[in-house]
Amino acid sequence: MSDNFDVVVIGAGPAGYAAAIRCAQLGLNTACIDKSLGKDGKPVFGGTCLNWGCIPSKALLDASHKYLDAKEHFAEIGITVESVGIDVPRMIARKDKVVSGMTQGIAGLFKGNGVTGLAGTGKLLANRRVELCPHEGNATIIQAEHVILAPGSVPVEIPPTPIDGDRIVDSTGALEFTEVPERVSVIGAGVIGLELGSVWSRLGSEVVVLEALEEFLPMVDQRIARDSLKIFKGQGLDIRLGTLVTGSEVRAGEVVVSYRDNVGEQTVTVDKLIVAVGRKPYTEELLAPDSGINLDEGGFVKVNDLCATDAPDIYAVGDAVRGPMLAHKGTEEGVMVAERIAGFKPLVNYETVPSVIYTHPEIAWVGKTEQEVKTSGESYAVGQFPFSASGRAQAANDTQGIVKVIADAQTDRILGVHVLGPQASEIVAQAVIAMEFDASAEDLGLTMFAHPTLSEAFHEAALSVAGHAIHVVNRKKRN
Ligand code: FAD
Ligand code: NAD
């Protein structure tokens, strides 16, 4: 291995591997270091997203959704199934196969693009030197022209519920249960709590979700949050808001979780406790004292809008820097930095980062919520369309939810799009494109959508901003 590179990337999650691949595509001699080991103990690339995050959680979400459909909803559409069973080890093994296919894919992409993938821990020293500590053998020093830090994030732990990896687990442990626990509690009704709570609830666990805040999903448009809470409770998720977890005791193969709510001291006894109270940037072992990098008060690597750190030619991207902890946000930052190093001038548009919660129905949004627009004092108009009025949703027996479009009342420019419904994640991608091109609600109304599609609900919601929806009686709301 050469010990000189144009670019060294530390971390091969979606932010780091994308940066490394794009650098190599642009002709830069690039190495990417990652210390992760897979379930078989061998080095893996792909970071949290591929190994313990987006991909494995979606594999279990899809499998559990299919199981529930077969068990509870097939009869409604005239399909009778004699008996529907669950083979959890097989479900987990399939999830693992998907993960290893994806992580091997990254190794293949590194090879195909000429990125030198290195297994071990990378530490940034002074003057763009990087120390590589391989899993076995001696450390080496690599000299780089540019360094991109992409170390990602790890779960937050709270003192009342220390992770033991057996009864009390974090999101990684919650992807590995070998049987369906009878009783599960999740601390945190955030994205992970709702997604993994849904997985085990669909597979038959009684799930109690303990959330500290009084408000459900405060970052989501209030109408969507309200409707989704009702739906999730109807699905059997016992979501208890305003609960402060005070302690836990593991005894006789179960966990007793203590919490305080407006009634007083309470306990819930479960077989598994999942702690999902957020993630924090991971910078342990990353920075030598004289690396020249500063962290902000939250422990994130301090960067400007272009992901440049305080040290020349050192950049940081992904979960370890400010902004939402989302794979696609990190990927866009990684690609932007690679192109800037190569002399181009792209930007990341942080106004159009889409968010998705992969429950069923899904919740997806981009741009401002109605409460944000209202607080800012902007005058705005809202268009809404329910999936119950969508022919495709009716045909698919999947009619819960709405699409909501918020537009500027003066210019008609789209300010935000919020979807609760089937394939909301795919529909919101169309909203992102529209907003990237500064579309107005009228532009969307004038665009032809194929019939019958779920996307027509987005078209109709845009039409309804001006009171022109065809398949629903318009209730024009201007503010
Ligand atoms: P990471 O993916 O965390 O990768 C960082 C890598 O760097 C890791 O492999 C780490 O071991 C390595 N590393 C750290 N320090 C060093 C060092 N010093 N030397 C060498 N290697 C180092 N996001 C979405 O957008 N959509 C989803 O559906 C989604 N689902 C999720 C589900 C779960 C259960 C979880 C936990 C997260 C999910 N996320 C999702 C979030 C997403 O996984 C992260 O936003 C994303 O992985 C961040 O990418 P990253 O490259 O910044 O960091
Ligand atoms: P989160 O911030 O989404 O939710 C954490 C929840 O826990 C919050 O509602 C918070 O109020 C609550 N909480 C915090 N401390 C608590 C306590 N002591 N007791 C009770 N409740 C408490 O975090 P997460 O769900 O852990 O997810 C972490 C990150 O991973 C998120 O930032 C998210 O962006 C990312 N992620 C994204 C996806 C996706 O894009 N679909 C999926 C999973 C994770």
CATH of the domain at 184: 3.50.50.60
Q: Ligand 1 centre and the CA of 1: distance in Å?
A: 27
Contact 387, 399 (CB under 8 A): yes
Claim to verify: residue 394 and residue 439 sit in the same structural domain: yes
Handedness of CA 390, 394, 396, 399 (dihedral sign): positive
Question: At which residue do the structure tokens 């709405």 appear?
Answer: 402
Is residue 324 domain-shared with residue 379, that is, in the same domain?
no
Q: Please give the average per-residue pLDDT across 407-417, as a whole number.
A: 98
Within 10 A of 52 (CB to CB), how many other CB atoms are there?
23
- What is the arithmetic mean of pLDDT over 411-415? 98
Q: By the 8 A CB rule, do 158 and 280 touch?
A: no
Instruction: Please check whether residue 287 lies inside any domain of the structure.
Output: yes
- Measured in angstroms, how far is the CA atom of residue 161 from the centroid of ligand 2? 16
**Domain-located, residue 470:** no
Please indicate, yes or no, whether residues 92 and 188 belong to a single structural domain of this protein. Answer: no
Q: Are residues 147 and 182 in the same domain?
A: no
pLDDT at 3: 87
Give dist(CA 338, CA 21) in Å, integer. 9
> Which residue range is the domain that position 73 belongs to?
4-155+280-348
What is the DSSP-derived secondary structure letter of residue 167? S
DSSP 431-463: HHHHHHTT-BHHHHHTS---SS-TTHHHHHHHH
- Is residue 404 scored above 80 in pLDDT? yes
Q: 197 and 258 in one domain?
A: yes
Number of domains in the chain: 3
Q: Is the pLDDT of residue 1 over 80?
A: no
Do residue 234 and residue 295 come from a single domain?
no
Average pLDDT of the residues in 18-34: 98
Task: Please check whether residue 362 lies inside any domain of the structure.
Answer: yes
Structural domain includes residue 301:
yes
- Per-residue pLDDT at 300 exceeds 90: yes
Q: Is the CB of 14 under 6 A from ligand 1?
A: yes
Indicate if 151 and 223 belong to the same structural domain: no
pLDDT higher than 90, residue 308: yes
Torsions phi, psi of 314, nearest 5?
-115, 130
Do residues 308 and 444 share a domain? Answer: no
Last residue of a domain, one of 295, 330, 348: 348
Q: Residue with structure tokens 């699905």?
A: 235
Per-residue pLDDT for 477 more than 60? no
Last residue of a domain, one of 318, 333, 348: 348
**What value does the mean pLDDT take over residues 375-380?**
97
Q: Is the CB of 54 under 6 A from ligand 1?
A: yes
pLDDT the model gives residue 280: 98
Helix or strand or coil: residue 70?
Answer: helix
- Does 186 score more than 60 pLDDT? yes
Average pLDDT over residues 244-264: 97
- Same domain, residue pair 194 and 69: no
Is the per-residue pLDDT at 476 higher than 80? no
- Quickly state the pLDDT bin for 351 (edges 50, 70, 90): very high
**Phi/psi of residue 101, nearest 5 degrees:** -60, -45
Containing 426, the helix (H) or strand (E) segment is helix 424-436
What amino acid positions are annotated as catalytic residues? 451
**Which residues in 168-294 belong to E strands, given as ranges?**
168-169, 183-187, 206-210, 238-240, 244-251, 254-261, 264-270, 272-275, 279-281
Q: What is residue 478's predicted lDDT score, i.e. its pLDDT?
A: 53
Percent of the chain residues topping a pLDDT of 90: 98
pLDDT above 90: residue 352: yes
Of the residues 325, 348, 371, the one at which a domain ends: 348
- Looking at the structure, do residues 263 and 284 belong to the same domain, yes or no? no
Q: What is the mean pLDDT of residues 292-318?
A: 98
Specify whether 15 is located in the same domain as 49.
Answer: yes
Hey, which of 8, 22, 44, 49 would you mutate to test ligand 1's pocket, going by the most ligand atoms within 8 Å of its Cβ?
49
C-beta neighbour count of 262 within 10 angstroms:
8
Residue to substitute in 37, 42, 48 for testing ligand 1 pocket (most ligand atoms within 8 angstroms of CB): 48
Structural domain contains residue 478: no
Q: Which ligand is nearest to the CA of 199?
A: 1
Average pLDDT value for residue range 143-158: 98
What pLDDT was estimated at residue 479? 53
Residue 473 lies in a domain: no
Distance from residue 75's CA to the centre of ligand 2 (Å): 35
Q: Where residue 393 sits, what CATH number does that domain have? A: 3.30.390.30
Centroid of ligand 1 to alpha carbon of 165 (angstroms)? 19
Question: Is the pLDDT reported for residue 161 higher than 80?
Answer: yes
Backbone dihedral angles phi then psi of residue 165, each to the nearest 5 degrees: 75, 0
Q: Which amino acid residue places its CA nearest to atom 8 of ligand 1? A: 47
State which of 279, 329, 426, 428 you would mutate to test the pocket of ligand 2, scoring each by most atoms of that ligand within 8 A of its C-beta: 279
Give CA–CA dist 341/312, Å, rounded: 12
Chain mean pLDDT for the chain: 97
The pLDDT assigned to 475 comes to 74
381 pLDDT above the threshold of 60: yes
What is the average per-residue pLDDT within 152-156?
A: 98
Which run of H or of E encompasses 271? none
Q: Considering the domain boundaries, does residue 238 fall inside one? A: yes
- This prediction has a pTM of 0.98
Q: Is the pLDDT of residue 168 over 80?
A: yes
Burial 306-339 (b: 16+ CB within 10 A, else e): ebbbebeebbbbbbbbbbebbbbbbbbbbbbbbb
The answer to whether position 66 is within a domain reads: yes
Same domain, 14 and 102: yes
